[in-house]
């Protein structure tokens, strides 16, 4: 849902880069889980928050100083799955696509989705190749290139050719 960019101010606030389509959506969730680089999770409750340009500023319970907040810099932010809104037919959460195989119309496996990033115009799939020496492929997540997202089958079918 986001990433802690830096501490903000002297009272333990965090500056957060949101990864949600609506930049302020993260403020709707009161329970946050902060995840460090090795996967350890710390749970916090959102006390207060507001938008500041493209970033979210947040005060979490238990964080009272800049020094304590600084330790959380770089951590990823998640919210409980059950807190997320229900999806309409044909919709998918980006997080659910991570780990899916990407297969083109020729039946060739291009690799595995390692991330889905928003770059302004549209989301982009980051696809790690199946072979060790191959290069990462970036595929725009738009109807012109995405034929189907099949969660039950563990794959995304695309109109995309392997780049060499």
Residues 77 and 143 in one domain: no
* Model pTM score: 0.67
Residues 131 and 73 in one domain: no
> Any idea which of 17-31, 44-58, 141-155 has the lowest mean pLDDT?
17-31
Residues 14 and 69 in one domain: yes
Q: What is the per-residue pLDDT for 134?
A: 81
The last residue of one of the domains, among 54, 83, 112, is: 83
Overall number of domains in the chain: 2
Average confidence (pLDDT) over 53-58:
94
Domain assignment of residue 88, yes or no: no
Give the domain extent around 11. Answer: 2-83
pLDDT averaged over the chain? 91
Distance separating alpha carbons of residues 132 and 145, to the nearest angstrom: 25
Q: What is the per-residue pLDDT for 35?
A: 93
Contact predicate 157/148, CB 8 Å: yes
pLDDT higher than 70, residue 56:
yes
Can you give the three-state secondary structure of 74-139, one letter per residue?
CCEEECCHHHCCCCCCCCCCHHHHCCCEEEECCCCEEEEEEEEEECCCCEEEEEECCCCCCCCEEE
Q: What is the per-residue pLDDT for 164?
A: 52
pLDDT higher than 90, residue 75:
yes
Token reading at 67: 């020094």
pLDDT higher than 70, residue 15:
yes
């Amino acid at each position: 849902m986001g990433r802690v960019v830096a501490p903000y101010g002297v009272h333990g606030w965090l500056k957060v880069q949101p990864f949600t389509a609506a930049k302020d959506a993260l403020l709707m969730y009161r329970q946050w889980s902060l995840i460090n680089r090795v996967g350890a999770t710390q749970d916090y409750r959102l006390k207060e928050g507001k938008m500041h340009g493209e970033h979210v500023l947040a005060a979490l319970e238990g964080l009272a100083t800049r020094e304590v907040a600084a330790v959380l810099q770089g951590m990823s932010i998640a919210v409980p799955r059950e807190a997320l809104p229900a999806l309409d037919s044909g919709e998918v959460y980006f997080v659910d696509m991570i780990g899916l195989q990407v297969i083109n119309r020729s039946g060739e496996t291009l690799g595995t989705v390692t991330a889905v990033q928003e770059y302004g115009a549209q989301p982009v799939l980051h696809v790690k190749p199946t072979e060790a020496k191959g290069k990462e492929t970036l595929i725009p997540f738009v109807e012109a290139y995405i034929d189907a997202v099949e969660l039950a089958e563990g794959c995304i079918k695309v109109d995309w050719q392997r780049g060499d």
